[in-house]
Each structure stands twice: as C-alpha cells, then as structure tokens.
Structure 1
C-alpha cells in the first residue's frame, strides 16, 4: 500500500498550535508510512519544524490558511464567512482526494457543519454520528455513539447508527459479529420512549446484525455489548460523565498516595499496579471521535486535549484510513440498511 495522507487542522482547539504541533511532530517522527498536511498559519508552523530531519520534513506539506474557526464561532458563521480557515481546508483536502483523513480539535459544531456540507453523507445515512471507544471491565472496548453530533434522533437514525457502529467495531476488533445494543432506562421490553421502542423493532427485523436488545448505563462498561447506540444528547452526557469520573479516580489516587510517608512508600510498592490502572482509565488514550456516515474520514479531538491526547486522535485517523472505514460502511448499508427501506 502506498503512503496515506492525513490532514491536520493546526489552529483548532483551546490551546492552539503549540499543543497540536507537538502531537503532529510526534506522529511524523513515529510513523514513516504516512504523509501529513499541516493546515494553518505558516508563521505558527514553520519554526516548530526545525527539529525534523530532511527525510521527515519531506513527508509533510504546509498549507497556509489565513482564517481560524474560533471556539465561539457559530457553525453557520464558520460555513459562510470563513472559507479560508484551516478547519475547512483540512476537510476539503479529504473531499478532493488529497488526504485520506483529517483531524481537528476545533469548534465541534463548526466541524460537524462543515464536514456535513463538504463531504455529504453516504447513501442511506441521514445524519453522521460521533463514535468513540470506551473501556470495559474486560480487556475489550465498547463503541458508543452518538456522542453529540445529533441531540435529537429518529428511530431510523438510531438504526443507522447501529449499522455504522457494527462496521466500525468489526473492522477495529476483527469480530465478525459484534453485539449491538440500544441504551435505555431498563432492559425490559416495556421500558423506554416510543422512539427507542420503534428503533428496537427495526433492529430486531434487520438481517446481518447481532442485535442483543437494551442495555442500561452501567452496562456500557461491563462488556455486555460491543456497540451501544443512543442519541447525541444522552451519549455526550454519558461520555463526559465517564471522563469526569476517570479523572476523579486518577486525582484521588494521586492525592491519597502523597498524604504522608507511609502512603508514599505504599504507592512506590504499588507503582506497577497503579500504572496499569492509570493506563486503563486515562481519558487521553480514548481521545478521537470519528464522524461516521460521511463520504470521508473526519476525526474530532477534544478541544482541551493535551499533546498526548491529540496524538491518539491522529492515530485514530491513521487506523481508519488504513481500514477504509467509509467504504466498509457503504458496503454494509447496501447489504443491510437499504433492505429496510
């Protein structure tokens, strides 16, 4: 396979170029089979590239962009008035076939709007969804969607999410028949609103999906399912709540381990175990939500992501580019989703 290309919005996020460039340089240094296009203000980018070797420098391109989509910009304003922004350019490179994926930590609403407008959705998909992985009590991971792209979803859209999530889980994990579940307030058939109940029927009538029914919020982390489907309002709250809890656990362990000499000694003895726990729950390694359902790969990083967290988002883009995820979703739609129309 020839080298793949990833476009990066260098200007996005709460912290801007310093953090994003640090992550980009790490990716350039560690992954020799990718080309990178850095979209942003040239004067903010070029000085950071001095540490690269000539061979590494040859694998990246800098595209100067005059405008920046600010975190407070309304999506419609970014679409209509910032046509030379770094965010828009990164997405356009995917649409033009010059990049195999793009990554941005910028304004979520603007990124969704621009990606939807420029790339369009795949046939049979009404709305794209943000999907990411979450840790479970086993060594498996669960894919949760939607994480905030659409706060109001019809039953049909929830069903489409399940199809897309199944493709993602299958490609990433190698599981040919991932378990798909609907997030609900209970596992019983009588629970839930009309929207969820009708989506449940669509799943049960579908062929080619391993649908297992309803799961509750605590089941997200217990390896009950490989894919958990919900609307963007509920999914975003579940994501942010779990990240907040993980940070609480990490900070509390750090605080308790430094209380006195005895706890510091105990912490040193338990350091390997603590590192294992930290690596399991650290939200940084789960950074990078994919905007599924588009005719191209767009990865959304947290706006306040650290350099390490943004690097994980870049890795997510590289993985999906290698797997050709949109093509696999299109194929699945043709065999499963369109049969329901």
Structure 2
C-alpha cells in the first residue's frame, strides 16, 4: 500500500485544515492510501479524535518543531531537524513514505526536495508547474513558475520534456502540444533566451513543438504545455491568482473563473526530483489538502518520476 506523508504543521491554518482535508479525502476515496501525519502530537491528536480513523489508515510521527513561513529555508532545515518538514523529508529519503506534501515554507520544501532526495539523473534543474485553465474547457500546463528565475535554453528544453510527461500522465493529454512563451509568433522573436531556446525545441524529437505562444494565447487552446523562465512564469501565476481574488471579492461568478481557484488543484509538484513532492499554497484549506493527497496518489500510481527519468535519459 502506498504511503503519503503530510506536513500537519505547514500553512496558515495548520493543523485544523489539514485534518479536515484528510477527513474529506478518506470519505471520498474508494481505497485510501496510508497517511503518515508528521507534526506536533499535542496539537494534532486531539483533532484526530472526532475523525474516528482506523489504526490501519494512518501513522502519527511526532515533530515538535515548526519551520515558520518567513524563516530562511536552508538555515531553518539545518537548525530545526525535528521540524515537520525536515522529518518528512527524512521519511521520504529513507523510503518510509512514497510522497510528501506540505503547505508550509515553500523555500524549505524546495531546499528539502533538492538536497534530501536529489534530482533525477540527467536533470539540469528541477522545475515547478502550474495548471492553466483554458477558455474552451481544456487544461494546460505552464512551467517554470518560480523555481528557476534565470534559465538557460537547455533548461527550458528539459522543462518541455518534463511538462509533456506530466501532461500525459496526470492531465490525460495523449500527445501534448508544446509552445515557447514569447512576445511574437514568428521564429526569431523574443529575448536572447527565447531565440536560443526555439531551435532546441524545434529539434527535440521527444516533444510535439508547435512554435511560439504569445501572452494572449495562454488561456486559449494553442498549446497544452507552455515553457518559460521562472521569473516570467511566476508573474503570470501571481497575476492569475490576483484576478481570481478580485472577481471573488466583487462577487463575479462564472464556471470558467472558478477554475482559477488553486484549491481545485491542491498544489504544485516538483518535477525532476526522484520522488513526488507536492508544495501547497500557504492559505490552503481542506479542499486543497484533499486534492494534494489525491495528486500525490496519482503521481505514485502512474509512476511519473520514473517515466520522467526514462524520457530524459532517452
């Protein structure tokens, strides 16, 4: 049985929303994974009582320390080795769990992913991706969205391969179309990075490259996977989040706009490391936690990391 580790102390609403998310997941799962709850027993155990979880459904692992949101990631992981994030990564690295999810300190999660479980062979840089809801009801993927602010053409070329594998296995897109995010459709457009990346993507036989995509194409169905540097991708991601918040605050309701709610997707996977690591938003509530668990479950079941490794080596 697969084992999924959950940082119970990560996020603005920990541990109560994590508990609610677990309850939601257990109630809706046909066959639930075994959950390994990592956190302060004094805070978590009293909240577990009303859930009536069976002993075979979860394991509690005590972690007396918490890495706060604004702590320096590397220093915090080194100094707080009894924190929920540090212990979670130790469990992942030693094979005690198959995936690890957290809505805690993003930097600490990224540092943990890079240094505790290592990158896959051949990966120049791991990446994080975001779901892009398309206007026609389809779903796209944008990467990188913040892990790599500065990139080389070779990095974007690998992001295209990793994004394609993820789109095939998690989004169910059989032959994903890949585009380079750019300021014009024509080959030769863009900054130095875009100009140097285009020929690499064009020659890459592991992807279906369809050329450049402009900002106005992002929400249309021009491509399934769009690649860019993390600086650009993060600005797009944060803009999308703010537009969703504005529409919500002004009580503007539409099925399409609802698809921009991050809670629907749970979290962002780190692609290019050897085991599934899911990073959630700090303001994650129950729905997001439940969806993070489901995403981790799907990544384990589909063997996404091994498929990424095979594709990159090939």
TM-score (norm 2): 0.94
The match for 1:270 is none
The match for 2:102 is 104
Question: 1:114-153 CA deviation, whole Å, 9 max, x = no partner?
Answer: 1100011011112111112121012210011111111111
The match for 1:248 is 246
Pairing of 1:116-155 with structure 2 (within 5 A): 116-155=114-153
Q: How far 1:92 moved relative to its partner?
A: 2.1
Pairing of 1:308-323 with structure 2 (within 5 A): 308-323=287-302
Give yes or no for the alignment of 1:289 onto 2:254: no
Pairing of 1:19-34 with structure 2 (within 5 A): 19-31=17-29, 32-34=31-33
Pairing of 1:83-94 with structure 2 (within 5 A): 83-94=81-92
Match of 1:233 among 231, 234, 237: 231
Question: 1:82-115 CA deviation, whole Å, 9 max, x = no partner?
Answer: 1121112222222222212111111111110111
The match for 2:51 is 52
Question: 1:28-79 CA deviation, whole Å, 9 max, x = no partner?
Answer: 3332331000001011111111123353x42100000121111111112123
Pairing of 1:207-218 with structure 2 (within 5 A): 207-218=205-216
> Which runs of no fewer than 5 residues in structure 2 stay unpaired?
none
- Aligned residues, how many? 313
Q: Which moves more between the two structures, 199-208 or 303-312? A: 303-312
2-structure distance, mates of 1:13, 1:53: 24
> Which runs of no fewer than 5 residues in structure 1 stay unpaired?
255-273, 336-341
Larger gyration radius, structure 1 or structure 2 = 1
Pairing of 1:54-93 with structure 2 (within 5 A): 55=54, 57-93=55-91
- Note the aligned Cα RMSD (angstroms): 1.6
2-structure distance, mates of 1:186, 1:91: 42
Q: Residues 26 and 194 of structure 1: is their aligned pair in 2 closer, same or farther, counting only changes over 3 Å?
A: same
CA contact (8 A) 1:100 1:296 kept: yes
TM-score (norm 1): 0.87
The match for 1:162 is 160
CA contact (8 A) 2:120 2:272 kept: yes
Question: 1:209-251 CA deviation, whole Å, 9 max, x = no partner?
Answer: 1011111122121111111111111111101111111222233
CA contact (8 A) 2:35 2:59 kept: yes
Match of 2:310 among 321, 324, 331: 331
1-structure distance, mates of 2:149, 2:92: 26
CA contact (8 A) 1:38 1:60 kept: yes
